[in-house]
Structure 1
């Protein structure tokens, strides 16, 4: 992960605490880069996430899944009956 400290200096322990905070706040997402912006007594965090790598997402009544394996029989049946639209690349 790339860390940029902007607008001042910060010791390694404090940087590690901000990394820990971001990792706990965004559990399940992979952080690629973080800007720590110092503005006087305040600190702003700008977080850039790594792209999630998946080939297709299936929408099934208000949620997304990566694979059909997570759907029960009723949802699979509902999905198979839906009208298909072309995929634009």
Structure 2
């Protein structure tokens, strides 16, 4: 379930539920936690969705790849012999 932290005031449960529903609709993911900072009539929302895994994509020998697993022997050799430039 979503952990909710409210600072600077109090909010009715219906409003908190509306903020949780907003996060689900806007980001299409379940929030792990929501920080709600109340400042008079305004609120500041901070959503925490947890760790998002991603693969590094590189351009190698003209191809965008994440890993070299699907390269054949010739393409692996080409990758091995390429000149790597410093950034």
CA-atom RMSD in angstroms: 3.5
Specify the alignment match of 2:35 in structure 1.
35
Size of the aligned set, in residue pairs, is 73
Given the two structures, how large is their TM-score scaled by the length of structure 2? 0.60
Q: Which aligned segments of 4 or more residues in structure 1 are displaced greater than 4 angstroms?
A: 79-83
CA distance in 2, matches of 1:3, 1:64: 39
- Any unmatched runs of 5+ in structure 2? 81-87
What are the equivalent positions in structure 2 for 1:1-89 lying under 5 Å apart? Answer: 1-28=2-29, 30-53=30-53, 57=55, 59=57, 82=79
Q: Point out the structure with max Rg over C-alpha.
A: 2
